[in-house]
């Protein structure tokens, strides 16, 4: 299984923040400057089409990192929906990740991506690649518990479905950290009907993976369910 690669884009112009506010699941107006947050652009069906690490330099300047295998489609999407906005998207090139506490940072300095993968998986920081696009709703990945979703900010793509799930229901399946034996399963693999792989990495004697699953289905498979960080341990449903 190959390591992911990452592509950095800049989005600059007077309409940058307003445009992104109507695209991504987090609140770009409330996002602190120079803080990288993982967020998503969803489909009209409320499923994550693009996962992205977003950093606001100021309201007219943003840095956006996506997994390289989504970079071309992401650029097409922004240029299509932003055709009448005063801003410019530019691809800068490859960047490399490091984990810092509860977030990922990127720089041009080369790092060991496998080290980051394991750390991100162990800390519940699921990410989307081309293979997993359109598979998961933000709440299923606990994105709201990572400040990647804002439920009251107004309209964005897929917002009606995402908000309805939050305010009127809860997901049937959600993110868990598991450890298993054998080869690491491929992304988007279904280990059974109710367990789907989001990210995985080989370790000595087996693998660790982030899966979206019904808890009972994990028991059936006999996978070891490991603790997520405190912030991601809570119920994925809205507090009543």
What is the residue extent of each domain of the chain? Answer: 6-168
How far apart CA 66 and CA 72 sit, in angstroms, is: 10
How far apart CA 157 and CA 212 sit, in angstroms, is: 22
How far apart CA 209 and CA 224 sit, in angstroms, is: 10
pLDDT at 240: 64
Helix (H, G, I), strand (E, B) or coil at 112: coil
pLDDT at 158: 86
pLDDT at 1: 59
pLDDT at 136: 96
How far apart CA 99 and CA 91 sit, in angstroms, is: 23
Q: Which of 10, 208, 185 is nearest to 114 (CA)?
A: 208
> 6-168 in CATH: which number?
3.30.1360.120
pLDDT at 199: 97
Q: Which of 181, 207, 177 is nearest to 195 (CA)?
A: 177
Encode the chain (240 residues) as per-residue pLDDT tens digits: 578 999 999 999 999 999 999 999 999 999 999 999 999 999 999 999 999 999 999 999 999 999 999 999 999 999 999 888 999 999 999 999 999 888 899 999 999 999 999 999 999 999 999 999 999 999 999 999 999 888 888 888 888 888 888 887 788 899 999 999 999 999 999 998 889 999 999 999 999 999 999 988 988 888 899 999 998 988 887 876
pLDDT at 59: 97
């Amino acid at each position: 299984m190959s390591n992911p690669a990452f592509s950095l884009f800049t989005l600059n112009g007077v309409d940058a923040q307003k445009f992104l506010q109507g695209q991504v699941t987090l609140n770009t107006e409330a996002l602190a400057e120079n803080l990288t947050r993982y967020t998503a652009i969803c489909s009209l069906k409320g499923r994550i089409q693009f996962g992205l690490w977003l950093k606001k330099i100021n309201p007219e300047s943003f840095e956006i990192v996506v997994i390289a295998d989504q970079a071309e489609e992401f650029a097409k999407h922004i240029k299509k929906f932003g055709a009448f906005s005063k801003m410019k998207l530019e691809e800068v090139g490859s960047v490399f990740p490091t984990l810092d506490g509860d977030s990922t940072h990127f720089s041009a300095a080369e790092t060991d991506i496998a080290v980051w993968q394991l750390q991100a998986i162990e800390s519940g920081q699921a990410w989307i690649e081309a293979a997993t696009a359109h598979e998961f709703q933000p709440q299923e990945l606990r994105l709201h518990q990572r400040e990647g979703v804002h439920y009251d900010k107004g309209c964005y793509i897929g917002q009606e479905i995402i908000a309805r799930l939050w305010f009127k229901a809860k997901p049937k399946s959600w993110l868990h950290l598991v450890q298993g034996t054998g080869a690491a399963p491929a992304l988007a693999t279904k280990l059974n009907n109710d367990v789907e792989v989001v990210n995985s990495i080989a370790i000595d004697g087996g693998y660790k993976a982030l899966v979206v699953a019904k808890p009972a289905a994990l028991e059936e498979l006999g996978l070891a369910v490991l603790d997520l960080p405190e912030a991601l341990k809570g119920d994925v449903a809205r507090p009543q």
